[in-house]
């Protein structure tokens, strides 16, 4: 099995104007969430960006919250953070699959979304992946959003994204 250290990481993008990013986090496991948030914030700040943070009860609510923010605000991108740990039933599959699919659909609608929702079997697996000095999945999710924002700007999209029209868009 390939180790996490083996994969390639794109160079951090640069911006003339620091992007404004909303972090939406489900602190179902508080300490895990706090580590994911720390990693994401550090990555956004290193790129010269700004961040706000919103909490939702669980991973299933993250896509809905980002969808609401996408219609009601003008963030350049979004970072989804959470931790789903398998229990006794099949609910794990629902939470994992529906949260990730919801984020993918939002991306296909034109939002720049990085997915940092951990889907793991044990708390130990979550801890090493959330640790900013470990696998830093929160930082990785923020980096993904930053790269998508940079591509949007490179290809000429307005700050309001492409295709995700808000009711109050002045250029809609």
Ligand X SMILES: CC(=O)[C@@H](O)COP(=O)(O)O
129 is in an annotated binding site: yes
Q: Is 51 a catalytic residue?
A: no
The rounded distance, in Å, linking the Cα atoms of 146 and 44 is 8
DSSP string, 109-172: TT--EEEEEEEESSHHHHHHHH-TTTT-HHHHHHHHHHHHHHHHHHTT--TT-SS---TT-TT-
85 is in an annotated binding site: yes
Least distance (Å) between residue 143 CB and ligand LW54GNZ2:
22
Q: Per the structure block, which two tokens stand in for 21?
A: 């990013």
Which residue number, 85 or 157, has a Cβ lying nearer to ligand X? 85
**Residue 87 interacts with ligand X (CB under 6 A): yes or no:** yes
- The residue number whose beta carbon is nearest to ligand LW54GNZ2 equals 58
Burial of 14 (0-12, 13-18, 19+ CB in 10 A): exposed
35 is in an annotated binding site: no
Residues that bind ligand LW54GNZ2 (CB under 6 A): 26, 28, 57-61, 82-85, 95
Residue 14 binds: one of ligand LW54GNZ2, ligand X, none (C-beta under 5 to 8 A by kind): none
Among 21, 84, 113, 150, binds ligand X (CB under 6 A): 84
Pairing of strands 113-120, 20-25: unpaired
**Residue 23 interacts with ligand X (CB under 6 A): yes or no:** no
61 is in an annotated binding site: yes
**Residue 30 interacts with ligand X (CB under 6 A): yes or no:** no
Contact 106, 69 (CB under 8 A): no
Residues in the annotated binding site for 5-amino-6-(D-ribitylamino)uracil: 28, 59-61, 83-85, 115
Residues with a known catalytic role: 91
């Amino acid at each position: 099995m390939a180790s996490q250290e083996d994969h390639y990481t794109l160079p951090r993008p640069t911006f003339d104007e620091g992007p404004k990013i909303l972090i939406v986090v489900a602190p179902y496991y508080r300490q895990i969430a706090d580590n994911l948030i720390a990693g994401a914030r550090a990555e956004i700040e290193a790129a010269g960006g700004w961040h706000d943070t919103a909490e939702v009860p669980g991973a299933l609510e993250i896509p809905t919250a980002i969808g609401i923010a996408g219609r009601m605000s003008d963030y350049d991108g979004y970072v989804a953070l959470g931790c789903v740990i398998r229990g006794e039933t099949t609910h794990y599959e629902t939470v994992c699959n529906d949260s990730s699919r919801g984020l993918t659909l939002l991306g296909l609608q034109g939002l720049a979304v990085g997915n940092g929702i951990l889907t793991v079997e044990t708390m130990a697996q979550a801890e090493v992946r959330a640790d900013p000095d470990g696998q830093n999945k929160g930082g990785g999710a923020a980096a993904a959003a930053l790269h998508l924002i940079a591509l949007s700007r490179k290809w000429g999209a307005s700050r309001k994204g492409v295709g995700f029209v808000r009711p109050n868009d002045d250029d809609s």
